[in-house]
Structure 1
């Protein structure tokens, strides 16, 4: 019996082992659905009516309507919610309050008890799912060209019926997909068969599930204000949602949901155009994807064209919502209008903005060893790299595009020199020594390397990558080698070095070009009017917001030696003057300003950021400096028409600072604490206005306290865009330009009407530069939802008034009310608050702020708010902790902020803001300068600083004699001691130079005079030198002596 049982067991086991194993598969669904079902790791929600999964923790902070969420509810009735479960079965019309923050793919009365239909859900980081989600988001929102998903949540309602139905009634299948990269988030609604809209409890038919109050599709923020509904929601038409779409794929809707409002993806009829990327190099060649009109792929799309500014380019339709165009070369920077036409250019009904930049770091040709290559040194060849995936080609062509002005400088011409053809698209190549591929030979070398796929059919707009525009000494070497080869009648080798004679001949050409440029320039030299003078020291430049670091020479970089040999660091004016000019200032390692001959800067006819960014500046300022100073010996010509500023008229701006719990340091240096709540005039003047919003602080426990801090500003200069910056607790800041929210994620610096705005969310900083006769600069930093910022103001300019003072140099009248009454700064804090600060509160009519949905001027104030003016009483340990954090008991503002909020980061930021302000004020102190001393002709100098206490020593070349002071010192009076120095030629001491002891008293060693009051003498130890006659005497050449005039 036992054996029989064992045999039966073995037979059964063998049968089991021989049976094939079937791997579970995802549930059947339309192709556009994401896989779902237990086979792919889904969980099944409880079978119920009007229930949910309960609170489901998720592994990211998911952004939805500008809030972050760490859990969610998947509700049976077709909704994902975030703050609470949604059991309501009849959908109300949006918007809804009561914290009903939800995403509704099909909010209707689902009942999973009636059949086998189920609700599946999971979060995933599966790489295939993430890649697919990233691709589909980029297709729906073309601006997000680099979006990469890091997390996906999928909820799927599979063949579910309605309340009041049965196992045989109509079924619906739909899906919600949540996608995020941690900052931006998107939702997809996918629909399969949709056959019912309403449960019987909502008035629907028990047999069809139609009628009554149909399902709602859309989004609700839960504040009773913000919402978005899909067309057809809560109408009978919603049953057809599987046939509709906003992205060209029936049964799919895609939305961006992280921002304060929900945005539709795909095409539209509103006339807006989404552009991706949203910026690119002015050189062109970028493949740009646009989305706006809905395209009919089944009809002729050859009439679809794009227009960038005034240049029309052909478009290629990709699908029902997207087309691609190639960005043309525009040789200018800034915002241009882009339109798309579906009728061959007759009408451009959809338009958007595109930003042109000088160079695009995301799409560039890298010149690996450019700075190692010197003129006439032929051993080193240029190596370049690029992204091969940019081209859908196996081979590419490489050209050098040379730029030059036409004869009257009204337009830019370009010459294309072919360097290599049919290069394998590997992403790297070393250029040859000559130009054997080119039919064009040109000696100019200002241009840009271009890599492109082979041009087909003569198309003028091709996909290209460009290097920076630069003076290419590597190209000049190739040119010289090729010139040598062709000069030799083809017998020479392209690898042969150019002869010195050939190089000398080319240098003569460059010298002639320099002279021709000089003749034009000296008749109309650039003006320094309206340009600030150079700061005398690098430290002054660091704290002067009118200047910025010059990338051509920064912090001792090797490229300083190219045009500024001897300089350690250079700065330039951050903005062009009204005439388009700029100022460059360079400093030695000690931080003192340098004259031109020692590596100093120069006046610039074309500021690098004005008009044709980089190109105009390179053509009229940089290339001529190469021609005159590097490629020929005509630097004096360049220096004459591009002089270096000597900092003698430098006048630093004044600075106001606010930080922490609304502490203020005025433009004249008065310090006080402002604890108003609401919106106030920080500054108003005839040409500039600045308002701020102060909000109540909270402590580390989240409780409101009796202090306030700045959470928003809005500013405007005459004729310029209105700029509003406000705290966003999720992303850091929101920036609005003329009321429209701008995105700085990809392009950190953007130009608007007479204002430049930079935002770096990584460092928590914003900089706003207002262009005009006077340049106003606001630098902001945020931490813990609080702004600290500085305002840089031209000294004594524009007569400002407000909470930041009046910039008249008189600290005693800074606390002036709107009506003009001056309040004593020693008044008790409460009186300062009531009698001065509150008089600068704005009215709703005065407010420049743009308000979001449901917000208003009055909503940011509270009449019952009672500010605290003194430090709170705390125990000794807390006091010691505050003193430790703030670096001493004298840091009263820092200690106040810590005791009020308990936030060490806020307190430290306050202490740092005070330190930075004090350093800026200290750097602005007047520096005594005597102006530059130049080397004497036929001589040299040792020393270059023009600042008080500096010493400059002079010496003469062989065969020349020093006349004047051999050493001069800059005095505190701002003048050089001694007399002007010259090196005199035409005197030869012959055998007596150097003088020897035997002839030290020999009167015959006096030589002829040169101005009747001076003569040359050979003196012991000194050799030949100039001797001056006593006052009233003249030199008698015959006698070799000085005599009184008769």
Structure 2
């Protein structure tokens, strides 16, 4: 093992093994997670950054600890002391506790573990019906940032090293755990952008009994981040798939969800000298100065507000400089431009957050992801996503809302219901009659100014937005940023465009199929194994209505009764002919013998 010596501020260190397990009856008050010191591998070792050891067979019941981690801590502390400055390895299977059964036959040992897990799963509640469906395509999965986030174990941005999902290039996980069982969803895709299903490949998407990132209250199984997921979803994959050839047990309980129930979110955007594109596609410009309601949904408890300020003191142009948001009862999150517009600053309840050591924060009712100072994504429990991007010193804010928000929204980003005619509505519900009239549009925008703040703060598309900002803002950089933001929004809309799925298609019994994509226009060819005959269509096509073309296809044993009957008749006739011929020949021979005897008798009498 190796480590970065700067992580442990000591010249000499202790190296310890810690273990994790869950005990008690699942889904009852007796269900507990236990994280404990097991034993020391070495004491008072030089902090050299490397250490080698020979794993020993299990002793003192350590084989019951299947998951654990190594800790490197200053040697001044006693063994197993809690809350000390230390470096930890990642969680991993404690496979070095080699039981006697393992040393005799490792495959049988792993199979026994797999079968025991299978029996446990048979007794636990079924969580599959309450998890969210996967997006149909990789583009949808990466665009739906309010509900799905990159699974770092299979990331296309980091070379697609997908150890647990061979054949895939990218996976995402549902951000929120399921409501009752705290289960997770994982969705994986191949290099064509199609979802990979476990019914077709060992590398397919797999749901999880325990969400990898946990769920409140985090101290109660199966909601313990990381560890619960290892116990119920990862170790079982090792036992059934990696260490033995029994994946059928694993996929029986972890089948992929297809995308037939998936609904893309709707998106709206604010950028430049503020230009707005509503959820239903209405575009307009409003360069008011102040604080305004971008989106409000009283039914869902969502409020998103934006602040606009002059670009500078010499031009009549404004830009978005801050956006604050809350989904009751979550924390209030604000994202704003920092001085000099060199980055974005994130505040939680008016206190600045630092992302220098980690890019992901799980806060009260909200997740915040900020991989760089110019990129912030805020994700709420309902599936609402807010993306804030810094481009050429200006903020672009994109809001994504799931279908549950239909007919509940108001504000500068419009009423999300698929009807652009009612998007520009005043606070009293009155509609703008002429969207090309600048005065009416300005009055609409001004009507959404915030007079009593709920959240406390610490026109033409494309190139015409660009030209507008260059002329009004006197800033080519601002114009270029507007052009990029508009193009990004168009790409996002294309990625989120709904698609039709016919769902997974199973090959016929005693047959096989060719084709593993199931969206509209996909084709699946069907074949039978040797000795069987295909009945029904050999080609099935996914149609516009989400139904596969043609009737049922089956592989059957060939029906040879007519041939058997015909053969029997011919055989019988041949047999009768043969018997008749033999009889006739026999009679003929007898007649010849009688004739010969008669002739012989006559000759004798003559003498």
Q: TM-score, normalised by structure 2?
A: 0.80
- Consecutive unaligned residues of structure 2, counting only runs of 5 or more, are 219-223, 568-607
For the 8 Å contact 1:452–1:463, the answer to whether it is kept is yes
- What is the SS of the residue equivalent to 1:638? helix
Indicate the structure with greater helix content: 2
The residue correspondences of 1:764-775 to structure 2 (distance < 5 A) are: 764-771=374-381, 774-775=382-383
In the alignment, is the contact (CA less than 8 A) between 2:412 and 2:448 conserved in 1?
A: yes
- Cα 1:959/1:890, change in 2 over 3 Å: closer
Match of 2:600 in 1: none
Seen in structure 2, the aligned counterparts of structure 1 residues 553 and 922 have a Cα distance that, compared at 3 Å, is same
Deviation at 1:819, TM superposition (A): 1.4
1:718 to 328, 333, 343: 328
Deviations 1:249-304 (A, max 9, x none): xxxxxxxxxxxxxxxxxxxxxxxxxxxxxxxxxxxxxxxxxxxxxxxxxxxxxxxx
Deviation, structure 1 residue 604: 2.2
Equivalent of residue 21 in structure 2, options 404, 414, 417: 404
**1:627 Cα deviation after fit:** 3.0
* 8 Å Cα contact 1:668/1:806 also seen in 2: yes
Paired residues of 1:556 and 1:568 also in contact (CA < 8 A) = no
TM-superposed CA distance for 1:754, in Å, is: 0.7
Task: Summarize the Cα distance change of 1:719–1:890 in structure 2 as closer, same or farther, 3 Å threshold.
Answer: closer
Residues 739 and 406 of structure 1, relative CA distance in 2, 3 Å threshold: same
Query: Does the residue aligned with 1:428 lie in a helix, a strand or coil?
Result: coil
Alpha-carbon distance in 1 for matches of 2:349, 2:393: 23
Contact persistence 2:114–2:236 (CA under 8 A): no
C-alpha displacement at 1:711, in angstroms? 1.1
C-alpha contact 2:292 2:450 (8 A) present in aligned 1: yes
Counterpart in 1 of 2:156? 555
Could you tell me whether the CA contact under 8 Å between 1:722 and 1:737 is conserved in 2?
Answer: yes
Partner of 2:370: 759
Query: Which position in structure 1 is the counterpart of 2:112?
Result: 509
Structure-2 separation of matches of 1:676 and 1:604: 48
Aligned equivalent of 1:357: none
| Contact 2:16–2:42, Cα closer than 8 Å, also in 1 | yes
Question: What is the match of residue 600 of structure 1?
Answer: 204
Structure 2 CA distance, aligned partners of 1:436 and 1:424? 26
Q: Is 2:254 aligned against 1:653? A: no
Q: Which residue of 1 aligns with 2:410?
A: 801
Alpha-carbon distance, 1:765 to partner? 1.9
Whole-Å separation in 1 of the counterparts to 2:295 and 2:5: 49
Deviation of 1:789 (Å)? 0.6
* 1:482-536 deviation digits (Å, cap 9, x = unpaired): x56xx8xxxxxxxxxx87x512331342133222222223xx111443x542111
**Where in structure 1 are there 5+ consecutive unaligned residues?**
1-382, 488-497, 852-868, 871-888, 984-1013, 1018-1026, 1028-1034, 1042-1046
Q: Secondary structure in 2 aligned to 1:832? A: helix
| Aligned with 1:729 (options 298, 319, 339) | 339
Q: Distance in 2 between matches of 1:510 and 1:565?
A: 23
Superposed, which structure 2 residues align to 1:247-286 within 5 Å? none
Matches within 5 A, 1:11-160: none
- Residue 779 (structure 1) shift: 0.7
1:215-614 aligned within 5 A: 383-387=1-5, 390-399=8-17, 401-409=18-26, 410-414=31-35, 420-422=41-43, 423-432=45-54, 434-435=55-56, 441-442=62-63, 445-454=66-75, 457=78, 460-461=81-82, 462-470=84-92, 472=93, 475-476=94-95, 478-480=96-98, 483=99, 502-521=105-124, 524-529=125-130, 531-545=131-145, 546-555=147-156, 562-579=163-180, 580-597=182-199, 598=201, 599-610=203-214, 611=218, 612-614=224-226
1:951–1:970 CA contact under 8 A, matched in 2: yes
Post-superposition Cα deviations, 1:773-815, rounded to whole Å, max 9, x if no partner, equal x321111123455321100111351611111101011011111
Supply the distance in 2 between the matched residues of 1:548 and 1:707 (Cα, whole angstroms): 36
Distance 1:811 1:781 in 2: 26
Cα separation, 1, equivalents of 2:566 and 2:234: 53
The DSSP-based 3-state class of the residue aligned with 1:403 is: strand
Distance in 2 between residues matched to 1:440 and 1:416, nearest whole Å: 14
Distance in 2 of aligned mates of 1:458 and 1:420: 11
Distance 1:958 1:502, change over 3 A: farther
Q: How does 1:817-832 map to 2 (within 5 A)?
A: 817-832=426-441
Alignment-derived partner of residue 291 in structure 2: 679
RMSD over aligned CA atoms reads 3.3
In the alignment, the residues of structure 2 paired with residue 436 and residue 974 of structure 1 have an alpha-carbon distance, to the nearest angstrom, of 56
Q: Distance in 2 between matches of 1:415 and 1:732?
A: 42
Work out the CA distance in 1 between the residues paired with 2:38 and 2:431. 70
Q: Partners of 1:934 and 1:405 in 2: how far apart?
A: 37
Q: Secondary structure at the match of 2:126?
A: coil
- The offset of 1:539, in angstroms, is 0.9
* DSSP 3-state at the match of 2:117: helix
Distance 2:416 2:475 in 1: 33
Q: Counterparts of 1:624-663 in structure 2 under 5 Å?
A: 624-663=236-275
Q: Distance in 2 between matches of 1:733 and 1:554?
A: 25
Q: Shift of the alpha carbon at 1:402?
A: 3.5
SS of equivalent residue, structure 1 residue 840? coil
Residues 429, 967 of structure 1: alpha-carbon distance in 2 compared, 3 angstrom cutoff: farther
Q: Which moved more, 1:457-466 or 1:662-671?
A: 457-466
Classify the secondary structure of the residue corresponding to 1:563. Answer: coil
- Residues 549, 571 of structure 1: 8 Å contact kept: yes
Partner residue of 1:944 out of 511, 516, 528 = 516
Deviation (angstroms), 1:940: 4.6
Q: In the superposition, relative to structure 1, how do residues 562 and 758 fare at CA in structure 2: closer, same or farther (>3 Å)?
A: closer
Q: Distance in 2 between matches of 1:901 and 1:543?
A: 31
Aligned 1:912-931 pairs, distance under 5 A: 912-931=484-503
Normalising by structure 1, report the TM-score: 0.48
After TM superposition, give the deviation of residue 829 of structure 1 in Å. 1.5
Cα deviation, residue 570, structure 1: 1.1
* Cα distance change, pair 1036–416 in 1 and its aligned pair in 2 (3 A): farther
* 1:535 and 1:647 in contact (8 A); partners too: yes
Contact 1:679 1:691 in 2 (8 A): yes
- TM-superposed CA distance for 1:895, in Å, is 1.2
Q: Which has the higher contact order (CA 8 A, sep 6+)?
A: 2
* SS in structure 2 at match of 1:429: coil
Deviations 1:530-582 (A, max 9, x none): x5421111011121112111112222978865432332221111222333222
- SS where residue 582 of structure 1 aligns? coil
In 2: Cα distance, 1:714 partner to 1:667 partner = 19
- Matching residue of 2:586: none
* CA–CA separation in structure 2 for the residues paired with 1:831 and 1:395: 72
Give, in whole Å, the separation in 2 of the partners of 1:710 and 1:613. 37
